[in-house]
Structure 1
Amino acid sequence: MRSLRHGGMVSRREHGYSLIELMVAILIALFLIAGVITIEQSVRNSYSDRNGVAQLENDERFTMTMLSEITQSAGYYPDPAVTSQVAALPAATITAPNGAGLSFTSGQAIDGVPNTTIINGTTYDDDSLAVRFMTASGDGIPLCDGTSNQTGSDTVYTNYFYIASVNGTSYLYCALEIGNAWSQTSPVQLVENVEAMQIWYGLHTVASVTPGDYSVDTYVPAASMTASDWSEVTAVRIAVMFKNPLQADVGQQAATFTKVIALMSRTGGS
């Protein structure tokens, strides 16, 4: 009797990932990649915001330092023992580089031109400021363009600050008049993203029995100043509005910095 051995095919199952499993894995990977991209973008935006705020702080410090150094020198002249402010600063009518008209009486050290600007649909004051003083050659008193008197003689300077836009970017400018002529290097761009400059002039309006009492009791905008007020300015309050580097965030407004600057010629200077 023959023993028959029946051969047969051994059934093998193929093992691997199904299409559904692959799709789930891809979906999870996409979520992880999206998370990494979101974190990277958040870090980048945070870094950009910090840089923007740091730049704003630097611009604010520079702007206020420049305005303070120039404005506090208004009415200065080298030798009050032999001359007077009226003699040192003669009457002058000036047309500024931006077309504004400036008018100084004898001895007048400050003048301002009122204007307005529209920022995000809101109208703001946007003034310009002119500061006059006389310096001696080599005395090192700074001018608004970063230079000083090297002419070899006493010279009257008019430092004129104003805001203008170039290709959609607003700048704080300085124009310098030397004697009766604007400097060939004027105007100079000082700081960008300065959107408006609001200026009030401090006056002593209350009668005082104390001679030389120039303490400020009121601040007046340029539009409300009378011709005689300009020679009585004791201090200047300046509010400078900068473009906010975070303005894309909801609720962010223009960044405004304010400073009161006393005129040395009225508070103990020359």
Structure 2
Amino acid sequence: MRRSTVLLRSRQRGLSIIEVLVSLVIGLVVVGAVLLSYVTSGQTNKLQAAYAQMNEDAQVGLLILSRDLQLAGYAQPTSLDAVTFQFGRTYSGSAVFGCDTGFVSASTTGNVACAAAGASPAIEVVYEGDITNTVEHSSGRPSDCLGAALTQQTVGLTDFYVTYNRYYVATSTLGRPELHCASKLGNTGGALVDNVENMKIWYGEANPIDKRQIVRYVSAANVLDPTFGHVVSVRVCLMMRSAEPVLSAEDPATYLDCDSVSQTSADRFARRAYFTTTALRNKMTF
């Protein structure tokens, strides 16, 4: 009995130090692979969420601009010339006006002026406002892009309201770039869309003979008519930026700007350019 017990004990042994180390290494490799997969998946989800947010913000910004541009130059007819068969209208001024260097003051109550240099391009969109093409103010009057009631004007026996919406890019107090709007009413500009880093605008000028044929797209400084009277289309680019730095060392840091020039993001913010082209329907001759 004692002999069998001794033999049984002699056959029992623990793990050697080499076996323990091999087991630890295998375990660490497995755990490391799981952690790497988790971190990579988290970074991918974070980047995708940033681009999804940029897509949504860009769509909102371009929709606001496109909607206003479609109304540019609109005014109700007040009379008909029996010789030329042309309608007289409540408002017959410029439908749009732009500055490549931004406005001196977007909220000035007079005519807007271009800044000397340095700012992002800006555009003024003008049309007759009513309670169907603007948000109705609590006073019952039409409103501008900030929701302020428009001032009544009168031509003959016709009362009307003119909207002067001025769009530009500015930086918030938190250092975040935003698409802003101000108006001729003197209201301080307000933010419409967050994380719009830059805006670029091209104006489509029509052929003097065929007013529906666009012959070129140019910046505001190169528009031939200082009143922008031959502009019948506007192309807008919004350069969007992610809300926070989301690019890792492994992510591509290059992007195309509004001029389709490759740029490099040195601050880890993701960027993407979004475009839209809008015909000024009230400036087209049919």
- TM-score, normalising length: structure 2: 0.67
Residue in structure 2 matched with residue 187 of structure 1 by the alignment: 189
Counting matched residue pairs gives 231
Alpha-carbon distance, 1:16 to partner: 0.9
Question: Which amino acid is 1:162 matched to?
Answer: Y
SS in 2 for 1:129: strand
Give how far 1:26 is off.
1.5
Report the residue type matching 1:134 in the other structure.
Answer: E
Q: What secondary structure does 1:85 align onto?
A: coil
Partner of 1:161: 167
Is the deviation greater in 38-47 or in 76-85? 76-85
Instruction: For residue 62 of structure 1, report the CA deviation from its aligned partner.
Output: 1.2
- Deviation, 1:221, is 0.5
Residue in 1 that maps onto 2:30: 32
Structure-1 separation of matches of 2:93 and 2:228: 17
SS at match of 2:163: strand
CA-atom RMSD, angstroms? 3.5
Question: What is the letter of the counterpart of residue 187 of structure 1?
Answer: G
Corresponding residue of 1:220: 218
Deviations 1:168-190 (A, max 9, x none): 3211112233xxx233xx42222
Question: Sequence identity of aligned pairs in percent?
Answer: 23
CA shift for structure 1 position 268: 5.7
Give the structure-1-normalised TM-score.
Answer: 0.70
Task: Give the C-alpha shift of residue 84 in structure 1.
Answer: 4.4
Q: Partners in 1 of 2:208 and 2:133 — Cα distance? A: 37
**Aligned residue for 2:14?**
16
CA pair 216-146 structure 1, distance change in 2 beyond 3 A: same
Contact 2:205 2:223 in 1 (8 A): no
Tell me by how many angstroms 1:224 deviates.
2.1
Equivalent in the alignment of 2:40: 42
SS in 1 for 2:252: coil
- Residue 116 of structure 1: how far off its partner (Å): 5.4
Do 1:88 and 1:134's aligned partners in 2 also have CA atoms closer than 8 Å? Answer: no
Which residue in 2 is equivalent to 1:139? Answer: 132
- Which has the higher mean CA deviation after the structures are superposed, 227-236 or 39-48? 227-236
Task: State the partner residue of 2:63.
Answer: 65
1 CA distance for matches of 2:246 and 2:230? 40
Gaps of 5+ in 2: 80-87, 96-102, 136-142, 153-158, 256-270
Aligned AA (2:275):
T
Separation of aligned partners in 2, 1:48 and 1:30:
27
Q: For the residues of structure 2 that align with 1:34 and 1:194, how far apart are their CA atoms?
A: 39
After TM superposition, list the pairs within 5 Å mapping 1:110-129 onto structure 2.
126-129=120-123
Partner of 2:266: none
Secondary structure of 2:214's partner?
coil
| Maintained 8 Å contact 2:180/2:191 | yes
Native 8 Å contact 1:113 1:222 kept in 2: no
Q: Give, as a single letter, the amino acid of the residue that structure 2 aligns with 1:16.
A: G
The change in CA–CA distance for 1:140 and 1:259 in structure 2 (over 3 A counts) is closer
Larger radius of gyration: 1
Q: Distance in 2 between matches of 1:78 and 1:87?
A: 13
What residue in structure 2 maps to residue 108 of structure 1?
Answer: none
Q: Find the residue that maps to 1:86 and give its secondary structure.
A: coil
Partner of 1:264: 281
Find out whether 1:175 has 2:182 as its counterpart. yes
